Amino acid sequence: MRQGYIYFLTGLLFIGLLSNACVKDVDFDQKDQFVLEPAIEVSLVYFDFLASDFDEFDPENSNSYVDSTQADLFSQDFFDQNLRAAEFTLVHTNLVERAFEAEIIFRDANGAPLYTIMVFIPPYDGSPKEVVTLIYFDESQIGILKNTFSISAEISLLPGNPPLSNTSEGSIKFQSSAIFYMEFE
Amino acid sequence: MIKTLLYIGLLCAFILPLRSQNKQLLYNFREIPQQVMINPGAQIHQRGYVGVPFLSGISLGFGSSGFNAYDLFADNGVNFNIKVRDVLYSLNRNDIIDMNQQVEILFAGFKGKGENSKDFFSFGIYQEFDLYNYWPEDLAYLAYEGNAGNTGREYELRDLNVQGEIFTTLHFGVNHRFNSDWTAGARFKVYSSMIHWSSNNNEGLFITVPGTQNIYSHNVIADMALNTSGYASLWDRDIDNVSEFFQAIAPNSFFGGNYGVGLDVGFTYTPNSSWTYTGSITDIGMMFHQNDTESYTLKGAYQLEGIQFLFGQATDDDFLNDYWEDLKADLEEQLPLDTISRNFTSFRPVKFNGAVIHNFGNLNYRKTFKCDCDIDDTGYENSVGLQLYAVKRPQHINAALTAFYYRRVFNWLRSKFTYTVDPYSYYNLGLGISTHFANFNVYLLADNLVEFTNLAKANQASVQFGINYILPGSR
């Protein structure tokens, strides 16, 4: 019988325990501190020209090419509200025995240049000339990207020798990528 | 037999962690009428019973195998983002958060006609909320870290595995005592879904690899879907709070148009009075969603190396081009995100319960009392045993092993202690008590008692209680 009372008391203790069930030593307001900071890496623009594209014996040929694209993604809400910094990697690989100059321009909605990147690419001399350019937009400069509406790229053959013909060998290649440092609160 | 079960149980419990729907305290607790809801083939000793409407069976449970609220929200001065990072890197795709709630609206059972009838019938209606969410490991890493610096890493889209539903169940069970050794039973269920959403059996991956034309090549192959029913129509309603939400879905309790059928089966085998073996499989069922359905699908393949500048060679304009717009259009065509209305089928998580029970002690315990027999009571005063619980969900089986001690304390008080193990909780002690006063059965069952003093530190907890009226006399 005594054993029975022990069980009975255990039962009471059990009910007491359940009725005192609680959540303590926690602060759920901490969730407001939460920041998600992924870094998104993405390939951007690329192009590839053959040396023969710069044929200097063809009077109709140009020694400079320019193209551009609308790129208003940075002004979209996703980037506008959450982009904190960005790092662009531009890689020019030259297998042509002539030097080139590349110009990349970020423009606003009115076509006015916001940011210009100039890159000198030395001529091929038996080993490929790879020029890597890193551009970092920190928090103070990120507004430039957010106001960007279009991006243009121009590649120009610089004066020099040997002259390029429609049988000249080699190519000038451009590759690019960017890491976007996001911050979601 | 016991060694084999123990071995299998430990193996399952350690390889296949956790669950919140485990009702290890109720299982085989023969004084509580609701035990037949876990094993329709349970030994039933009562002549009949009627649950107090809305109060006969209320259960609440939650489980989180990888972390608890304290891990994230401890008021200990550590930066919240550091705690998030620590938790995130400790989880994997087998971790699960699950919640389950049930309220019995009606419940009753009675013995078949005739004094010698070996049948027992039980029936009722209950409402259930069930949610599980496996940790979407790869998707979480992708969202948390981004893909930078993770070239060559495959992000599995199948990691998205979530299901939530609120539904009512109408059930009718038959229990038949074949002889002194064998009892078996089955329960038929009709489900009516109030709201459902699920995304499981997804396939695909996202990977970034070095490109051939540009620095990187980003590749997505996806075959994913989030299916919903009873959800799309809520958009048209102005829902500001939980009570409005329930008001909106309440009409679906019986006539929502999304129905399902289910089956529970179970048995009890007692080769002698010292040993009892029980087993059951419950919620072998599926729901057919045909009304107010909306599915969101992402299916296709896309490879991106960036935008190729063509310098007028293939474009009308050699200056400002819409490469970016073209890319978006191409992406939407190759990898469309569609919203469609289609019929779909969902499965209830199937549960298995099994037990080996050894009965011992004073066999004539009841005979020492001279009472009005508010419950039938033959057998030993003690039982010990092992129980194995497992639940099957898409891509996963979760299990837990329980050791228990059952004691007939008084004629009006019965108790069951449980100790349940899985890799995340070695301290899960549970206690259940069932009392009988004036033909009323009142029970209270709770597991993980050690953590009840601070639920924030609990990886799981569950509580069940209810009141039933027990008809005088025995089966």
What are chain A's domains? 35-182 (2.60.120)
- Phi-psi group of B312: left, alpha or beta (phi > 0 → left; psi -120 to 50 → alpha; rest → beta): left
The answer to whether the CB atoms of A26 and B456 lie below 8 A apart is yes
pLDDT at B374 over 50: no
Name which of B182-196, B207-221, B297-311, B424-438 the model is least confident about. Answer: B424-438
Dihedral Cα B232, B236, B241, B243, nearest 10 deg: -80
Asked whether the beta carbons of B418 and B406 are under 8 A apart, the reply is no
Asked whether the beta carbons of B431 and B465 are under 8 A apart, the reply is no
Neighbours of A57 (CB within 10 A): 10
Query: How would you classify the pairing of strands B307-308 and A45-50?
Result: parallel
Name which of B49-53, B322-326, B417-421, B428-432 the model is least confident about. Answer: B322-326
The count of CB pairs under 8 A between chains A and B is: 180
Residues of B in contact with A71 (CB under 8 A): 324
The answer to whether the CB atoms of A25 and B410 lie below 8 A apart is no
Name which of A79-88, B15-24, B369-378 the model is least confident about. Answer: B369-378
Residues of A in contact with B214 (CB under 8 A): 43-44, 46, 175-177
| C-alpha distance from residue B192 to each of A185, B166, B229 (Å) | 39, 9, 11
Residues of A in contact with B304 (CB under 8 A): 42-43
Hey, of A43, A49, A52, A132, which one would you mutate to test binding to chain B, going by the most B CBs within 10 A of its CB? A43
| C-alpha distance from residue B470 to each of B55, B240, B466 (Å) | 14, 42, 13
The answer to whether the CB atoms of B69 and A67 lie below 8 A apart is no
The answer to whether the CB atoms of B453 and A20 lie below 8 A apart is yes
Neighbours of B244 (CB within 10 A): 13
Partner-chain residue, chosen from B145, B306, B415, that has the shortest CB–CB distance to A45: B306
Q: What is the pLDDT of residue B314?
A: 47
Residues 6 or more apart whose CB falls under 8 angstroms from that of B126 comprise B57, B102, B103, B104, B105, B107, B168, B169, B171
Name which of B73-87, B91-105, B208-222, B360-374 the model is least confident about. Answer: B360-374
Nearest to A75 by CA among A165, A149, A146: A146
CA nearest A14 in B: which residue?
Answer: B431
Partner-chain residue, chosen from B305, B324, B409, that has the shortest CB–CB distance to A70: B324
Q: What is the pLDDT of residue A60?
A: 78
d(CA B154, CA B202): 15
Q: Name the CA radius of gyration of chain A, rounded.
A: 31
Hey, of B214, B303, B434, B455, which one would you mutate to test binding to chain A, going by the most A CBs within 10 A of its CB? B214
Measure A154 CA to nearest chain B CA, in Å.
9
Q: What is the pLDDT of residue B393?
A: 87
Task: Please give the single-letter amino acid code of residue B245.
Answer: F
Q: Over range B418-441, report the average pLDDT.
A: 85
Hey, of B155, B213, B304, B311, which one would you mutate to test binding to chain A, going by the most A CBs within 10 A of its CB? B311
Report residue B367's pLDDT band, with 50, 70 and 90 as the boundaries.
very low
Residues of A in contact with B83 (CB under 8 A): 30
Measure B144 CA to nearest chain A CA, in Å.
5
d(CA A49, CA A63): 11
Provide the strand spans (E) within B21-67: 48-51, 58-64
Please list the ranges in chain A whose pLDDT falls under 70: 1-11, 17-18, 20
Query: Which SS3 state, helix, strand or coil, does residue A50 take?
Result: strand
Q: Over range B249-269, report the average pLDDT.
A: 90
d(CA B221, CA B304): 12
Q: What are phi and psi of A4, to 5 degrees?
A: -60, -45
pLDDT at B423 over 90: no
A positions 140-159 inside 8 Å of B (CB): 150, 152-153
Asked whether the beta carbons of B13 and B6 are under 8 A apart, the reply is no
Q: What is the pLDDT of residue A3?
A: 62
Q: Which residue has the tokens 């499965």?
A: B347
Measure A11 CA to nearest chain B CA, in Å.
7
| C-alpha distance from residue A125 to each of A54, A118, A162 (Å) | 18, 22, 12
Residues of B in contact with A48 (CB under 8 A): 213
Name which of A2-11, A157-166, B112-121, B256-265 the model is least confident about. Answer: A2-11
pLDDT at B132 over 70: yes
Q: What is the pLDDT of residue B370?
A: 47
DSSP per residue, B388-441: EEEEEETTEEEEEEEEEEEEEEETTEEEEEEEEEETTEEEEEEEEEEEEETTEE
pLDDT at B371 over 50: no
A157-161, B19-23, B354-358, B459-463: which is most confident: B354-358
Question: For the segment B196-205, what is each residue's pLDDT rounded down to a tens digit?
Answer: 999 998 999 9
Residue B360's Cα: distance from chain center in Å? Answer: 34
Q: What ipTM was reported for this prediction?
A: 0.85
Q: Per DSSP, what are the bridge partners of residue A68? A: A152, B320
Query: How would you classify the pairing of strands B259-272 and B275-289?
Result: antiparallel
The answer to whether the CB atoms of A33 and B81 lie below 8 A apart is yes
In a 10 Å sphere around its CB, with 0-12 CB exposed, 13-18 middle and 19+ buried, how is residue B296 labelled?
A: middle
Partner-chain residue, chosen from B146, B309, B446, that has the shortest CB–CB distance to A18: B446
Measure B250 CA to nearest chain A CA, in Å.
30
User: Is B229 or B437 the better-scoring residue by pLDDT?
Assistant: B229
Residues of A in contact with B325 (CB under 8 A): 70
Question: For the segment B39-88, what is each residue's pLDDT rounded down to a tens digit?
Answer: 999 999 888 999 999 999 999 988 888 888 888 888 888 888 998 899 89
The answer to whether the CB atoms of A38 and B217 lie below 8 A apart is no
d(CA B3, CA B55): 40
What are chain B's domains? 2-470 (2.40.160)
The answer to whether the CB atoms of A175 and B214 lie below 8 A apart is yes
pLDDT at B363 over 70: no
Q: Does A60 touch chain B (CB under 8 A)?
A: no
Q: Over range B409-428, report the average pLDDT.
A: 82
Residues of B in contact with A73 (CB under 8 A): 324
CA nearest A32 in B: which residue?
Answer: B80
The secondary element (H helix, E strand) that includes residue B176 is strand B161-177
d(CA A75, CA A114): 14
Q: Name the CA radius of gyration of chain B, rounded.
A: 27
Measure B95 CA to nearest chain A CA, in Å.
21
Q: Does A131 touch chain B (CB under 8 A)?
A: no
Greatest Cα pair distance, chain A, in angstroms, is 115
Measure B307 CA to nearest chain A CA, in Å.
5
Q: Does A24 touch chain B (CB under 8 A)?
A: yes
Question: What is the token pair recorded at B431?
Answer: 């206690």
Measure A66 CA to nearest chain B CA, in Å.
6
Question: For the segment B149-184, what is each residue's pLDDT rounded down to a tens digit?
Answer: 999 999 999 999 999 999 999 999 999 999 989 999
Asked whether the beta carbons of B404 and B424 are under 8 A apart, the reply is no
